[in-house]
Amino acid sequence: MTYISTLYAYLFYFAAFVLVAGLAAKVFQYARTPAPLKIPTTPAPTTRAGVAFRITREVVFFESLFRGNKWIWIFGWIFHFGLFLVTLRHLRYFIDPVWAPIQFIQPFGVYGGIAMVVGLAGLWARRFLVDRVRYITSPSDHLILALLIAIGLSGLSMRFVVHTDVIRVKEFFQGLYVGQFSTLPADPLLLGHLLLVALLMIIFPYSKLLHMPGLFFSPSRNQVDNPRERRHIAPWARRLEQQ
């Protein structure tokens, strides 16, 4: 067991803890934030089933973004769908035996990696080429996009340029489940890729990437459009009425 492998094992333990604890804290914060007004974006559904269908369309198809800006929608959807395929492809490193659907998705995951980088490149170019977007872009926006593209390019490089021992990589991550540290391949490209992934896990709960769980708590999306049929009272206002 090498020093580098031990360091990476503890790094991923720390990154996983920060990711899970940070997400849990943010979701708890979102859930406790009062929504004192009935503010669904119209036209809005009038039933809870309709709200669930609306959020599903937003999550899967980015419906509001499609209506707002077609170019951003194209690159954003390409990136997210590519990331989805890449995530499914990487599940093979964490489960044994590998499920049949995950085996089937493996070749498509490679194309997903390419789509992920293309989508990110388009979104990043927009922050340079569109004046009003460039004006509101902060250094952290550039750094996050650069980090995601570096993860995608390093992963694709291990597929098309310099191959690594994926069997040992799988043994390493499965060993983390039970506290048994295996030796990682000493490939600089692999170590760099894993370092970037761990960094992404650490910053995820505290970055703009947190829009993913935040969507489900958006009052403009998760509220039923029934202000006339049912009075909307925030929990904190109801407690004040009872005093």
Name which residue leads in pLDDT, 234 or 36.
36
Torsion, Cα of 43, 44, 46, 51 (10° steps):
150
pLDDT tens readout for residues 62-109: 998 999 899 999 999 999 999 999 999 999 999 989 999 999 999 999
Confidence at residue 96, expressed as pLDDT on a 0 to 100 scale: 87
Pick left, alpha or beta for residue 179 (phi over 0 → left; psi -120 to 50 → alpha; otherwise beta).
left
Residue 90: which CATH number? 1.20.950.20
Confidence at residue 1, expressed as pLDDT on a 0 to 100 scale: 53
Torsion, Cα of 126, 127, 131, 136 (10° steps):
140
* pLDDT at residue 33 greater than cutoff 70: yes
Q: Burial level of 236, CB count in 10 A (0-12/13-18/19+)? A: exposed
The predicted model scores a pTM of 0.89
The domain total for the chain is 1
Query: Average pLDDT over the chain, rounded to whole?
Result: 91
* pLDDT at residue 238 greater than cutoff 80: no
HEC profile of the chain: CCHHHHHHHHHHHHHHHHHHHHHHHHHHHHHHCCCCCCCCCCCCCCCHHHHHHHHHHHHHHCHHHHHHCHHHHHHHHHHHHHHHHHHHHHHHHCCCCCCHHHHHHHHHHHHHHHHHHHHHHHHHHHHHHCHHHHHHCCHHHHHHHHHHHHHHHHHHHHHHCCCCCHHHHHHHHHHHHCCCCCCCCCCHHHHHHHHHHHHHHHHHHHCHHHHHHHHHHCHHHHCCCCCCCCCCCCHHHHHHHHC
Q: Taking residues 20-26, what's their average pLDDT?
A: 95
Identify the domain containing residue 189 by its residue range: 2-241
Q: Which two tokens stand for residue 41?
A: 């974006």
